[in-house]
Amino acid sequence: MKHLVGKVITKEVSFMGDTVQIRKLSVNEVLTVQKIVQKANKAKGEEAQIILLQDVIKVAVPEAQELTNEDFKTFPIGELSELTESILSFAGLSGESATGN
């Protein structure tokens, strides 16, 4: 199994009528995302929820790492939420809520 250390698993998902590639998160990344979700849920503000979506997407979507906060604000919130839910599900966190519900 040593040869699998660092292996990246990806899949394509739909985003705004196009496809983007998402990465399966490592254990450390899952722990980081869980902390981000908990922090956002405590904040209870809409801005905190937007930041949560941005942070999760930046962790799992290689192409998103170059996007600025202003870039993220140009996307429909529903599309960002769906992408985040796809990321959490692919990571095995389908019970987590990225929208504080």
State pLDDT tens for residues 36-93.
Answer: 888 888 877 778 888 889 999 999 999 999 999 899 999 999 999 999 999 999 988 8
* Eight-state DSSP code of residue 83: H
Q: What integer is the mean pLDDT of 3-27?
A: 92
pLDDT, average across residues 14-38: 91
- Look at residue 101 in the predicted model and tell me its pLDDT: 44
Q: Which of 76, 63, 55 is nearest to 21 (CA)?
A: 63
The encoded tokens of residue 63 equal 């192409």
18: pLDDT strictly greater than 60: yes
